[in-house]
């Protein structure tokens, strides 16, 4: 199965996915706070994002987060 090339971007509270031609594939629901970091899960079509108070995991085919982890404080980076 061929996995499509996708680019994930964050601007403010919005996470977006783009295809290799620059076309918008998906715009996710607004995060509760400004997105401070994002990272792809190796070997999977999952993106993690951090904001003040949470880390969230998003599948490329789902509108809402697969999972959220709450944290009382600032999360600045995910890897």
Global pTM value: 0.86
pLDDT at residue 23, as a whole number: 96
Q: Which tens digits make up the pLDDT trace of 27-70? A: 999 999 999 999 998 888 999 999 999 999 999 988 889 999 99
pLDDT for position 28: 94
Do residues 18 and 7 touch, judged by C-beta distance below 8 A?
Answer: yes
DSSP characters for the chain?
A: -PPPPEEEEEETTEEEEEETTS-EEEEPPPPSS---EEEEPTTSSEEEEEETTEEEEEETT-SS-SEEEE-SS------
């Amino acid at each position: 199965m061929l996995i499509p090339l996708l680019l994930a971007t964050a601007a403010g509270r919005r996470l977006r996915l783009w295809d290799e031609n620059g076309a918008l594939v998906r715009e996710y629901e607004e995060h509760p706070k400004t997105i401070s970091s994002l990272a792809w899960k190796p070997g999977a079509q999952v993106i993690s994002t951090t904001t003040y108070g949470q880390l969230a995991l998003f599948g490329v085919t789902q509108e809402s987060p697969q999972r959220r982890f709450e944290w009382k404080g600032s999360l600045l980076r995910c890897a």
